Amino acid sequence: MQKVYVLDSSVLLHDPNAFFQFQENEVVIPYAVLEELAMKKRLMNNIGQAVREVMEKLDQMRKQGRLSDGIKLGNGGLVRIELNHTAPQLLPVASDSLLIDNRILNVTLNLMNTEERPVILVTKDMTMRVKADALGLPTEDYYNDKVVLPPVEEDIQTVLLDKTDINVLYNKGLIQSSKTFLPNTCIRGKLSDDSFVSLVSSTTGKELLYTFAHKEQTWGIIPKNREQSWALTLLNNPEISLVNLMGPAGTGKTLLTLASGLEQTINSGIYTRILCARPLIPFGNDIGYLPGEKDEKVRPYMQPIYDNLEMLLNPKREKDRGKEAIVDSAVDLLKKKGQLDIEVLTYIRGRSIPHQFIIIDEAQNLSAHEMKTIITRAGEGTKVVLCGDPDQIDHPYLDKESNGMTHVAHCLKGQSFYGQVRLVQGERSKMATIAADRL
């Protein structure tokens, strides 16, 4: 039976293509949703862009007929703008019928009472789902881009190694595999004494690379556990142009990535510049509200990047010289030489970025659509590294199953240019590790 899906603003802001994801069913957009979107259309951020994309699609649809009468889609569905299908008396006593959320609930209630077809409110707003449930309304999250990653241990494959394999690994750093693995897969090699060595499959999947074959440090950093060794192997391989590092705070994602970027940009010359960027979503107002020039505005948001640069760039100097001054002078020097750029994601859209090492920190706060926009900025010879924790989402309409990082992990795993590591062991300090686990 055909269903009626009522979409609220959060769904369209999350996915401007949501109209087309409900197959042959009817999609209803309350007029209150258009009003809420219109209030955000001038925002110069990801939300503003999403609003403009939604309006552009609706503008194209209206050429086929009046939106309030319904526009047929190619998949057999229908999109309709609902104007005045409300009955305030259906809401609880003293409810403010002028609130946009209440107007959307009102439309859905009235449709449910007049429609013979099932009516379902679709929203990514948890509060709306709770209020809808209290009113007896069927409600759902938007599931089109939900991705459930397997447990970490299931994501790692194990192979048995004999003495011959071990000798070849230690001497040549790789062995030929009788089995073809997915490219750039993290693998545990099990020895006869039940110990393990860390391996990574090659970009062809036909060879297994020993991750400790290179004893030299990466910008003074050596891996402290097997996940970090996997990460550095992927980061230091120019053939892998997209690396996805997922894990909780303190596992070394950003530090390892910056160390690899500095090594390959300054020492090896593989890349011309390091570009570090973070989304501003968790911090509220746009940087335009802060005083000062662009670099001064960006600095508070980028402080975690500077904290890691302090560890990597701070040489042993006299005690009377401040660490911040040393780091600032090193960062300024790299910026003047064009080897380092620290930006917010607002300034990346629309650019083509060749031969650079791009670091996207806090990437879990990006939607799948935003992630696609960023990754497609990469030109020839560019490497993109995503760092983040899918379990720590600050975006109001994302969760661990719908954010851009998990979407990338699901869609790109197995591609020869892609590799991912899920870090689990904290290395920041003993106290930080225990606190993260118990508090």
For 53-101, the pLDDT digits (tens) are: 999 999 999 999 999 999 999 889 999 999 877 666 777 877 887 899 9
pLDDT at 214 over 90: no
Domain with residues 224-438, CATH architecture: 3-Layer(aba) Sandwich (3.40)
d(CA 408, CA 345): 18
Higher pLDDT, 280 or 23: 23
pLDDT top residue among 266 and 302: 266
| pLDDT (tens digit per residue) in 250-264 | 899 999 999 999 999
4-140 CATH pick, 3.30.565.10, 3.50.50.100, 3.40.50.1010, 3.20.20.70: 3.40.50.1010
Whether the predicted pLDDT of 200 surpasses 90: yes
What is the crossing angle of helices 253-262 and 226-235, to 10°?
40
Percent share of the chain, pLDDT over 70: 90
**What's the whole-number mean pLDDT along residues 232-245?**
96
Amino acid at 68: S
Q: What is the pLDDT of residue 331?
A: 84
pLDDT confidence of residue 284: 42
Domain regions of the chain by residue span: 4-140, 224-438
Instruction: Convert the chain into a string of H (helix), E (strand) and C (coil).
Output: CCCEEEECHHHHHHCCCHHHHCCCCEEEEEHHHHHHHHCCCCCCCHHHHHHHHHHHHHHHHHHHCCHHHCEECCCCCEEEEECCCCCHHHCCCCCCCCCHHHHHHHHHHHHHHHCCCCEEEECCCHHHHHHHHHCCCCEECCCCCCCCCCCCHHHCEEEECCHHHHHHHHHHCEEECCCCCCCCCEEEEECCCCCEEEEEECCCCCEEEECCCCCCCECCECCCCHHHHHHHHHHCCCCCCEEEEECCCCCCHHHHHHHHHHHHHHHCCCCCEEEEEECCHHHCCCHHHCCCCHHHHHHHHCHHHHHHHHHHHCCCCCCCCCHHHHHHHHHHHHHHCCCEEEEEHHHCCCCCECCEEEEECCHHHCEHHHHHHHHCCECCCCEEEEEECCCCCCCCCCCCCCEHHHHHHHHHCCCCCEEEEECCCCCCCHHHHHHHHHC
pLDDT for position 170 = 87
pLDDT at 299 over 90: no
